[in-house]
Structure 1
Amino acid sequence: MSYSIIGSGNIGSAVARAFARIDVPVRVANARGVEAVARLVDEIGPQVEPAELSDALAADVVILAVPFEAVQGLAERVADWSGRIIVDATNAIDYTDFSPADLGGRPSSDLVADWATNARVVKAFGHTWARVLAREPGDGRGGRRVLFLSGNHADANAEIAALIDRMGFEPIDLGRNDQGGLLQQFGGPLTTRSFVSQAIGGSNPAEMDLVDP
């Protein structure tokens, strides 16, 4: 399985660090070219490989961490995404007043799916602050930071949930984009929320409580 991140801003860099923590190679590209990504190699390590945009778009799993208005042009550079996954880490924002962009009530990831022919699109990595995403996934007390995901293809959701779990976070699948996607996209009730999952123990419901680390 090959992975790439398009976008080397706050979210893209945080996701790249998460790959590096588990020693999984990932290609990183942006519109400014390879040289603009080279600093990440110095900061993070050899697991991060600067790539041309065309090479990054050829990965099995492509994580989009770019401004939402750039997504259509990127997606349409590939004629057929069959067999591959796009992870939508973008936020559709109207920057005139920093409000949710008017998408006609549609989930932003469904628009991505319209533009990326035959792609399996999963919404993930975009609901929380980049600085939270960049932290260690454990909370230091036995819990794991939660990352939500949603998508219309259960198999793709499962693959990205497994990746999130491998990174050390707690994946929570919110279901299809017309439900879960609306919850976590910019303006939804889960936007910028940070949750921690902790184990529950006890021999019966009356005794159940958080497990002390």
Structure 2
Amino acid sequence: MAKASGGEPRQPDGAPALGPGRARAESRGNSFMKSALAILGETGRTDFTVLEVVERSKTSLRAFYQHFATKDELLLALIDKIMSESTERWRAETSSLTATDALRRIVQRLSAPASSSTQEGINRGLTFYNDHLQETKPREFARVLEPLHDLIRDILRRGIADGSFRSNIEVDTAAAIFMQTALGAMRLRNLSRELTGVEIDSDAIYDFCVHGLAS
């Protein structure tokens, strides 16, 4: 392993190397998240118990509570991981696009249909659990959404700089509204068929969201 200037061992990618104990703890925490994800994929529900997660992970309740105080903390960690990894990919995808195309790409990614029944179960379970987290843990849930909010805010600033968007936009507020509108519109996929006879797609969501931004 390479060494940092202060002598701290580092992994090849430059991140500090984990000691054996910390590495085991992180691995076990990931195991609990993978087990929760598997249950979500199978059932599409978040009313599973901590005991089910523990049994799926082949560990113990004691080990679980060394990592997470509640099931909410486990699911917050899971959503945090999914959101941060997804946002990192989307940032790379949109870095070379115009601001308008970048926002369209974000909406497309957020509203893309599930690629499998397992993914559909995960999406359904976590989407509706978000309401619970917003009510019970708003500060923690806001922190989970920060990477996506930051990405949209950066794209809006690019659009203001190149003249695509109005110069008087309050960027933080507009980014939050855009993000929440796009996330909320995901639920319209099935409902829209009953309301309008057609499915509301990502283009319709994008057109609505970007309307108030244009210069």
Q: Same fold (TM over 0.5)?
A: no
TM-score for the superposition, normalised by structure 1? 0.32
TM-score for the superposition, normalised by structure 2? 0.32
Which has the higher Rg, Structure 1 or Structure 2? 2
Larger strand fraction of residues: 1
Higher normalized contact order (CA 8 Å, seq sep 6+, divided by chain length): 2
Larger helix fraction of residues: 2
